[in-house]
Amino acid sequence: MEEKKAYKCEDDILCGVNRPKDVANMTDFEKKHIPVISAPDKVKRDEEFDVKIEVGKIVSHPNEAGHFIQWVELYSGDTFLTRAYFNGGSSYPEVTFRVKLSHSHGFLKAWAMCNLHGLWQAEKPIEIE
Ligand SMILES: [Fe+2]
């Protein structure tokens, strides 16, 4: 009789949030999906600044009806800031958001959703003075 393998979320790409297993040695698959956050290291409280998020910057991700990045979200810590949608084929997962922060959570967080490969997360430290 075949024994059933215990289900583990970390073995399922569609369960939970995916992060690179080893940031210094990412696989091409991880590089395709991880959002890249470009933002200042330090900003002034309540002063507007730009945050750019790109998916597929390191290794290009497919952008077609059957396989594409559906959306990206930007957070300050775990506080939601904004979201952008893409259609798979004619819009690209590269977006710049203008935001301001009234207090620090210590880092910006981006989530990117691939329609086939689930949710991917990146973080970038940011200081508020
Ligand atoms: Fe994908």
**May I ask the CATH architecture of the domain 9-128?**
Sandwich (2.60)
Find the 33 Cα to ligand 1 centroid distance in Å: 6
Please compute the mean of the pLDDT values over residues 60-80 and round it to a whole number.
97
User: Which helix (H) or strand (E) segment is 33 a member of?
Assistant: helix 28-33
Q: What is the pLDDT of residue 11?
A: 81
Instruction: Round to whole Å and give the CA distance between 7 and 14.
Output: 13
Q: Considering the chain, what percentage of its residues have pLDDT values greater than 70?
A: 97
Instruction: Round to whole Å and give the CA distance between 69 and 56.
Output: 9
Phi, psi of 75 (to 5 degrees): -125, 155
- As a residue count, the chain comes to 129
In terms of Cα–Cα distance, which of 106, 125, 122 is closest to 30?
122
Q: What is the pLDDT of residue 2?
A: 63
Contacts of 41 (CB under 8 A, 6+ apart): 125, 126, 127
Find the 61 Cα to ligand 1 centroid distance in Å: 6
Which tens digits make up the pLDDT trace of 74-111? Answer: 999 999 999 999 999 999 999 999 999 999 899 999 99
Find the 26 Cα to ligand 1 centroid distance in Å: 15
Find the 35 Cα to ligand 1 centroid distance in Å: 12
Please compute the mean of the pLDDT values over residues 4-30 and round it to a whole number.
87
Specify the 3-state DSSP secondary structure of 31.
helix
Average the pLDDT over each of 14-23, 45-54, 106-115 and give the range with the smallest value: 14-23
pTM of the model: 0.91
Find the 102 Cα to ligand 1 centroid distance in Å: 34
Tokens of 20: 């690179």
